[in-house]
């Protein structure tokens, strides 16, 4: 579990964010945060192409409306908020209402899992945890996420019923979750 508080002491915001003393280059700003923004948008539900577009829009918006750079995490938080708003606006225009508008809750969940390194650690741990699944479970998830196979297709490939395929994937994801919770 990620934690920066000293155990036994009440957590306190000891580091009042202070503006950076040097301005960031645009390229450096983008390099530092683009992966996080892109992954955040994908987690919200954007496909890859949309995530590309909205990531670009997010940074262009930041460049037009400069802000004081208090810290990486503050900037990242703000970038996510802007990206979230762009995503919601796009979805609304498309009249697609299956969008989470609970930005604060999603932000909290994001920090819990992806932390402050754009999710690189989560990805590494996920790979390890995935490796601990059975071959069948791995195959099921591979078919589901990589090949975008239907449940029926997965069931046929594995020689089990659809219900069995569903259960298999649910158990696999539960195991992954448990493994992630132990390590993150």
Rounded Cα gap, residues 82 and 104, in angstroms: 13
Contacts of 69 by beta carbon, 8 Å cutoff, 6+ apart: 19, 20, 23, 24, 75
DSSP reduced 3-state for 17: coil
Question: Which of 88, 99, 100, 156 touches other proteins (CB under 8 A)?
Answer: 100
- 31-70: which residues touch other proteins (CB under 8 A)? 31, 34-35, 38-39, 42-45, 48, 52, 55-57, 59-61, 63-70
Q: How far is the CB of 86 from other proteins (least distance, A)?
A: 7
How many residues contact other proteins, by CB under 8 A?
84
- CB of residue 156 vs other proteins: minimum separation in angstroms? 19
Binding mask 110-149 for other proteins (x = CB under 8 A): xxxxx-x-xx--xx--xx--x----------xx--xx---
Sign of CA dihedral 169, 110, 180, 147: positive
Q: Are 104 and 84 in contact (CB under 8 A)?
A: no
Distance in angstroms (rounded) separating the CA atoms of residues 129 and 107: 24
Answer yes or no whether residue 180 interacts with other proteins by CB under 8 A.
yes
**Contact (Cβ atoms closer than 8 angstroms) between residue 17 and residue 70:** yes
Quick one: 79 or 155, whose CB is closer to other proteins?
79
Residue 2 found at the interface with other proteins (CB under 8 A):
yes
């Amino acid at each position: 579990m990620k934690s920066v508080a000293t155990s036994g002491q009440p957590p306190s915001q000891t580091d009042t964010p202070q503006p950076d003393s040097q301005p960031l280059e645009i390229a450096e700003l983008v390099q530092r945060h683009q992966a996080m923004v892109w992954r955040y948008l994908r987690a919200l539900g954007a496909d890859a192409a949309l995530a590309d577009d909205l990531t670009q829009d997010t940074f262009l918006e930041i460049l037009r409306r400069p802000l004081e750079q208090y810290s990486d995490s503050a900037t990242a938080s703000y970038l996510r908020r802007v990206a979230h708003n762009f995503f919601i606006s796009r979805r609304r225009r498309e009249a697609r209402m299956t969008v989470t508008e609970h930005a604060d809750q999603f932000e909290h969940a994001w920090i819990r899992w992806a932390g402050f390194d754009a999710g690189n650690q989560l990805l590494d741990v996920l790979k390890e945890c995935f490796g601990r699944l059975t071959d069948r479970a791995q195959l099921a998830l591979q078919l589901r996420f990589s090949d975008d196979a239907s449940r029926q297709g997965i069931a046929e490939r594995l020689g089990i019923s659809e219900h069995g395929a569903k259960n298999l994937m649910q158990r696999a994801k539960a195991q992954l979750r448990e493994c992630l919770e132990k390590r993150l």
